[in-house]
């Protein structure tokens, strides 16, 4: 009869939809299981029955699936049921066995509850880290867009949205970017995180985050990545401010323009004639840059030109000057450069383009290459028009030689 009743209950439970049932009603199932086990124990030997072990899976499942308070009630149901059984059937009772087994079963329910809590926390933390990672990548993309972030306040608001708390930035370097570090609105019991904002080896400020729940190790790494992106955005804004303040510079790359090149060339030629010194000019043109813009988009094209400009500045000697000669063309003036050093300088400037696939007879999407030409003169032989024409001719020969 008991087995038939149990099978009937299992069938009803299997067919019943429990999704809309309140957790408290699940205690009815625990109570039914406790009564079933108590009945089996009674008809099979009382306190000495081996079926007392059936309480272990019942309480383990209750501790795993129910809330902490409900799991405690489930333990109380089993204890009450067993005490009731021993009082109803005193001849078959074994209080010694109950004193040992029931605390062990309660401990089993507690361990199941703690394990379930830890696993739930791990799943929630993993999911939160995934959301934070996606939000951080989107924030880095927005910070890379020169039109998306206009000030330190925008950067701080972006960081606050990513980490779901309060964010502030202390910036130093450019007065227009300075902002005080505000304390958290509710400092008591909140977790704080401060990350240095760096870019190009320089520290531009500090990003400060605070919220009620603690920051995970993954979130701390993401905060460092976001701080680096904020640093690059600050650096771009600083460069743009300097360019706007200097009408002789190209607004996008920050390099001097063609008219400054022409004026500097005339000045250096006069100096070379007066001192019988050497003068070299290098022209570098990005191959098929219009196609690159069409395939990759204008934003990536502008970013590529900015990257090339920074690499050219890093590749010249102190005192040499880099210019934006045209849309995708650059020029470098180097005074006092001896002829044996011209070729080495040219290769160093060419390395501003990281890939040269055209040398190997193929080109991949997103790859860039450059044609380079140079010309030198000394003393009275220097002429601005002749120098530029010779450099252009050498650049055309370089392009034809590599692309053939």
pLDDT tens digits, 154-212: 888 888 888 888 888 887 654 444 444 444 555 444 678 888 888 766 777 888 888 88
Question: What share of the chain has pLDDT > 70, as a percent?
Answer: 81
- Residue 360's pLDDT band, with cuts at 50, 70 and 90, is very low
DSSP, collapsed to helix, strand or coil, labels residue 280 as strand
Residue 100: per-residue pLDDT: 66
Residue 384: per-residue pLDDT: 85
pLDDT above 70 for 364 = no
Residue 92: per-residue pLDDT: 56
Residue 282: per-residue pLDDT: 93
- pLDDT tens digits for range 69-103: 888 888 888 888 877 777 776 555 566 666 667 77
Q: How far is CA 369 from CA 25, 286, 389, in A?
A: 71, 6, 22
pTM of the model: 0.45
Strands of the sheet with 278-286, listed across from one edge: 321-324, 329-335, 278-286, 370-378
How far is residue 351 CA from its own chain's centroid?
29
């Amino acid at each position: 009869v008991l087995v038939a009743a149990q099978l009937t209950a299992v069938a009803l439970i299997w067919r019943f939809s429990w999704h809309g049932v309140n957790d408290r009603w699940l205690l009815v199932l625990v109570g039914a299981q406790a009564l079933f086990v108590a009945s089996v124990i009674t008809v099979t030997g009382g306190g000495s029955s081996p079926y007392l072990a059936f309480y272990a899976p019942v309480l383990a499942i209750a501790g795993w699936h129910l809330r902490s308070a409900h799991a405690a009630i489930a333990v109380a149901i089993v204890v009450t049921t067993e005490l009731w059984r021993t009082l109803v059937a005193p001849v078959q009772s074994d209080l010694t066995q109950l004193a040992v087994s029931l605390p062990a079963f309660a401990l089993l329910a507690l361990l199941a509850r703690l394990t379930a809590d830890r696993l739930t926390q791990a799943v929630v933390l993993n999911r939160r880290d995934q959301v934070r990672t996606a939000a951080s990548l989107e924030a880095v993309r927005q910070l890379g867009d020169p039109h998306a972030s206009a000030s330190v306040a925008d950067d701080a608001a972006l960081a606050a949205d990513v980490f779901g708390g309060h964010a502030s930035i202390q910036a130093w370097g450019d007065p227009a970017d300075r902002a005080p570090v505000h304390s958290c609105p509710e400092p008591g019991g909140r977790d704080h995180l401060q990350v240095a904002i760096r870019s190009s080896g320089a520290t531009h400020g500090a990003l400060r985050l605070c919220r009620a729940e603690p920051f995970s190790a993954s979130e701390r790494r993401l905060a460092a990545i976001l701080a680096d992106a904020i640093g690059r955005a600050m650096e771009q804004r600083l460069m743009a401010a300097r360019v706007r303040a200097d009408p002789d510079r190209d607004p996008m790359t920050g390099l001097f323009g063609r008219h400054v090149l022409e004026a500097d060339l005339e000045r250096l030629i006069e100096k070379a004639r007066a001192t019988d010194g050497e003068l070299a000019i290098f022209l570098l043109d990005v191959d098929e840059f219009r196609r690159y813009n069409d395939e990759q988009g204008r934003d990536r094209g502008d970013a590529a030109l900015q990257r090339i400009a920074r690499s050219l500045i890093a590749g010249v000697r102190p005192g040499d000057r880099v210019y934006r000669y045209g849309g995708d063309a650059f020029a470098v003036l180097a005074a006092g450069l001896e002829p044996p050093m011209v070729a080495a300088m040219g290769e160093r400037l060419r390395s501003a383009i990281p890939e040269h696939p055209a040398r190997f007879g193929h080109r991949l999407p997103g790859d860039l290459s450059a044609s380079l030409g140079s010309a030198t003169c000394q003393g009275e032989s220097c002429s601005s028009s002749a120098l530029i024409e010779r450099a252009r001719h050498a650049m055309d020969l370089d392009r034809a030689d590599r692309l053939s």
